[in-house]
Amino acid sequence: MMNLKTLNLQKLSIVASIILLNACNTLPEKYISSNSLETQDLLDGTVLLGEKIKQSELPDDKVMEITEEMEVFLKDYVLRANGPENRANLLSRALFDDDKLNLEYDPSQTFTAREAFENKVANCIAFSLLYITLADRLGLDATFQEVLILPEWGEAEDGTYIESRHVNVNLYIHGSGQWVVDIDSIGKNLNLRATPLEKEHAQALYYGNVASELMLDKKYKEAFRYFVKAIELEPSEASIWSNLGVLYRRVGLDEYAEKAYFIALDYETRNASALNNLAYLYKASGKNDRSEYYEKLAKASQVKNPYFRYSRAQAAFDKYQFDLAEKHINYAIRKNKSEPSFYDLKSKIHEMLGERIEASKAFKIAQRLRAEAP
């Protein structure tokens, strides 16, 4: 983990467009969900709450509220600076300096901007909410983005998967370009791609995170309200639908869980979390042919993902398994020839294999790709 006390803004490397995964083939008829539930059946709350949920019962956490204390913080440490770049740097330092806010990183803490400021701790989404809330007040052009790393799926005690991802801040400064601001070292990797997120989408991920945390604490009714709020803000977010399915699975409503997983796949046909959870759901109910089918799809979606193969190459490299690392990185490059980080690792692998010419070639390609980036 990075030393948070020395966090600085870093220049964002913009590279070519991401290669999307191919959509799944049309599912065989025997593997398509046959239950008659509608999307609204999953959201109205009747089966979980005993009655239809009211709009007034949905949480409103005032996710990007700015308080008087936050205003004073900006006045004391940032507003004296002239120009957006100076203010951005002062804001970054003030958030992490020991004698100022002294913000700490904790991946388990999903807070609003205000809560992150008051508790002096945040995960990636909480930090991004806090930074952009303060940046907006300073007149800085800061937006949310999702870092395109391989998603992580935390396996719960009942075998289901809960998906988590990484969000940080893209800061545009006229005359200086684009910068990335992140509380965690993984998101500050300039070799990684990122995709913009609207504020509503970022806030949906906040509500989805809180919902998942409540669910893991077995606070199912409260978790449901947060899931509904998240879906209201961003109906097409597959990971939230998949995690809602996990909630229904945990309370024994398997048909509702199945429907939620299929809705997730409607929005993202290779969502590994939904595919894994469908495989587990069918295995638990004795539908082994369905279970095996979706398990194969889940594995295929990972294996064909160049970023997954990059992560396997890195893992093999760390274990000194250089031949295996080379196999994985070559596959990743065949799938995506415009990702400089792939060539960086390829160069390191050839260096360890004593292949200096090949190492130099890969290093030069990585440099060229970065130089050609807009």
Tens digit of pLDDT for each residue in 32-43?
Answer: 776 789 999 999
| C-beta of residue 230 within 8 angstroms of C-beta of residue 204 | yes
> What span, in angstroms and rounded, lies between the C-alpha atoms of 40 and 142?
35
Helix H or strand E encompassing 167:
strand 161-173
User: Can you tell me which residue has the tokens 């100076």?
Assistant: 86
CA atoms within 13 A on the CB side of 29: 0
What's the Rg (C-alpha) of the chain? 22
**Is pLDDT above 50 for 220?**
yes
**Is pLDDT above 70 for 16?**
no
Which pLDDT score is estimated for 312?
A: 83
pTM of the entire predicted model? 0.77
| C-beta of residue 70 within 8 angstroms of C-beta of residue 91 | no
CA dihedral 349, 353, 354, 355 (to 10 degrees): -60
| Opening angle at CA 59, ends 58 and 60, nearest 5 | 120
For 297-352, the pLDDT digits (tens) are 888 877 777 877 887 898 899 999 999 999 999 999 998 898 888 999 999 999 99
> What span, in angstroms and rounded, lies between the C-alpha atoms of 128 and 234?
18
Q: Among residues 328, 325, 285, 282, which one has the least CA distance to residue 307?
A: 328
For 147-190, the pLDDT digits (tens) are 866 554 444 555 555 555 789 999 999 888 888 898 875 444 54
Q: Among residues 168, 131, 189, 201, which one has the least CA distance to residue 11?
A: 189
- pLDDT above 90 covers a percentage of the chain that reads 65
Interval 270-285 mean pLDDT:
90
Which pLDDT score is estimated for 18?
A: 19
